Amino acid sequence: ETRPALQSAALKTISHDESKLVVEAGTVATDTTITVTPLAEESVPALDVGMVNVTKGPRRGYRFLPHGAKFQKNINVTLPYDRALIPPGHSEDDVRTYYFDDQAGRWIALPFVGVDKTNKLLNSTTDHFTDMINAVVTVPDHPQAISFNPTSMKDIKAADPGAQVNLIE
């Protein structure tokens, strides 16, 4: 756990494990203590359907405090990801940093800045603190309409009640 104090007039870089915050001067109006805590699997809020957490282990996410504080300027957030956790059919370009929205009860993507594929780090910005993870969403945001064929039942064979039953002679 890292707990540095932020002064309102200083540029500051805060690192914990492989996570990093870059805070510009003027981001906070008063001196503020920042807390960065790595989260274990059981401490991370439940993921939305189709989300795969790819945050580099052994941690599964990070909790940034003070919770709910709004900053006057965006803070640059860098979190590590594990290439091996990215699901098949997806790449490092699909990884995004998400924050947990307590009011909505779901994960929301932070504004994306870039991906450092050499060091396996994802760079985003935020104007507030909460729990954050790197994740890939495996379901489409806008599902395609499935064509409906009213005669599709004609292709299905009738059930055979004797199927898979061994008869005794």
Q: Is 127 exposed, middle or buried (0-12, 13-18, 19+ CB in 10 A)?
A: middle
Minimum mean pLDDT among 25-34, 49-58, 61-70: which range?
25-34
As a whole number of angstroms, the distance between CA 125 and CA 131 comes to 14
3-class DSSP assignment, residue 154: helix
Q: Give the model's pLDDT for residue 68.
A: 72
Minimum mean pLDDT among 23-32, 50-59, 98-107, 153-162: which range?
153-162
As a whole number of angstroms, the distance between CA 14 and CA 17 comes to 10
pTM comes to 0.75
Place 33 in a pLDDT band, splitting at 50, 70 and 90.
Answer: confident
pLDDT in tens, 77-131: 999 999 999 999 999 999 999 999 988 899 999 999 999 999 999 999 999 889 9
Report the mean per-residue pLDDT for the chain.
82
Q: Give the model's pLDDT for residue 77.
A: 93
As a whole number of angstroms, the distance between CA 10 and CA 25 comes to 5
